[in-house]
Structure 1
Amino acid sequence: MLRDFLGHGLFNSDGEQWLWQRKNASLQFTSRSLRGSVVQAEVADRLIPLLRRAATSGEVVDLQDVLERFAFDTICKVAFGHDPCCLADGGVVDEARSEFMRAFGEAQDLVVGRFLDPVEVSWKVKKWLNVGTISM
């Protein structure tokens, strides 16, 4: 059910393939790399300025949304080497959401739909016919 979304990566593999994926991924997720420049830069250059601007202007901030975007940017930088700029300094919070994050969320929703479908194989039929919202 998850292959279209996650491929054959760490979160969607077993056995020898999982061991190989885990070994490669563990190099990327050491505490040094997470505490290092990626997280520090995201906090210093984006999170703190956004919160300061909101505090100064009296703007109401959806903290759950801000922290979700902070986590998404950080994970994407470490895991994919891609900065989706979801927490970028763009003034209005909603304008900073990237197309990548929207697509990622949509893909997650489609995968969840596969798990929630009462007929277990219907998503496979829809995918084969390329119809419906679960065709991914």
Structure 2
Amino acid sequence: MDGSYQPNEDEFLSVEHFTLSDEMSEAVRDPIRVIPYQKEDDSFPEIKAIFVGKSVKVNGTETFLVAFQRFRKERYISPRGCNLFFPNHTFYRQRNFGISILDRLTATITEENCSFPPSSLLGRF
């Protein structure tokens, strides 16, 4: 499967029997134990995706509910550029490194299915 595939408006792509990696499952169960994002050799590592989720146990069976957003390089906020923000009706320049997160999902995992809905059905979070 190509990670850049985008379903058409009339398609709903779903991967059945999808299993999260052990690292992702642990990150959802206990996010405090995740290694902090930090510089390596004076630069930040590339971000491939951002996800949030929760672990649900019912009758001794654990399932995960996870929402993913594919991350694109152009959403980095670099301290080298001119990044203007507009709080309280005034623009100000931000000089720190950051990222911009959209309010649309790329994929969701519920129980054992990973779904990639068409853009018209992508939920806001």
The TM-score by the shorter chain falls in which range? Answer: under 0.3
The structure with the greater share of residues assigned to strand is 2
TM-score norm. by structure 1 comes to 0.23
The structure with the greater share of residues assigned to helix is 1
Between structure 1 and structure 2, the one with the greater Rg is 1
TM-score norm. by structure 2 comes to 0.24
Higher relative contact order (CA 8 A, sep 6+): 2
